[in-house]
């Protein structure tokens, strides 16, 4: 059996190639797409409500049947301007983009002040900060106002 002999330069070049290929394969495997994987999510899915778009706002009626009718609740608001995560604390509402900052999946699970992305398990608190990766960036937050049972999200 013949073992090829390499110069130091050739050896380093081949070694760097092998390490680069292994790193690229690991990166592709670690972020394999935005479709759900075998997520270990135990958080229940958010109830979904529809928002109405007018100009640069999305409005949602909050009545007794709304999933946002009481404090400590949250909902996924669907509108033609996008999806929003809305949580309620008293008469204060927080609206966040529902697009996960890891790979763009719709964050759709929630329990006890924690939102979770069903694709890769990233978790966020109700102000949008990351509490568990792989996401590293917070969810964007939008201004809200609430009057006469109408929630307004400013885009």
- Distance (Å, rounded) from C-alpha 102 to C-alpha 137? 8
Domains of the chain, start order = 48-154 (2.102.10.10)
Handedness of CA 78, 84, 90, 91 (dihedral sign): negative
Q: What is the pLDDT of residue 30?
A: 38
- Distance (Å, rounded) from C-alpha 72 to C-alpha 90? 8
CB 85 within 8 A of CB 51: no
Record the pTM: 0.74
Residue 33, Ramachandran bin (φ over 0: left; ψ between -120 and 50: alpha; else beta): left
Least Cα distance to 46 among 85, 14, 104, 83 occurs for 85
**Which stretch of 32-41, 108-117, 144-153 has the lowest confidence by average pLDDT?**
32-41
Q: What is the pLDDT of residue 42?
A: 72
- Distance (Å, rounded) from C-alpha 100 to C-alpha 119? 9
Average pLDDT over residues 2-19: 53
Average pLDDT over residues 84-98: 96
């Amino acid at each position: 059996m013949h073992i090829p002999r390499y110069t130091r330069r050739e050896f380093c070049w081949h070694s760097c190639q092998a390490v680069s290929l292994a790193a690229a394969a690991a990166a592709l495997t670690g972020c394999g797409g935005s479709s759900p994987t075998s997520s270990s999510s135990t958080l229940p899915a958010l109830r979904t409500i529809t928002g109405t778009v007018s100009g640069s706002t999305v409005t949602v009626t909050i009545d007794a049947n709304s999933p946002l009718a009481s404090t400590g609740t949250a909902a996924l608001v669907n509108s033609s301007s996008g999806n929003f995560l809305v949580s309620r604390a008293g008469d204060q509402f927080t609206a966040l983009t529902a697009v996960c900052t890891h790979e763009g999946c719709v964050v759709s699970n929630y329990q006890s002040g924690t939102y979770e992305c069903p694709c890769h398990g990233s978790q966020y608190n109700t102000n949008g900060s990351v509490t568990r990766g792989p996401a590293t960036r917070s969810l964007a937050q939008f201004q809200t106002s609430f009057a006469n049972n109408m929630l307004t999200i400013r885009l």
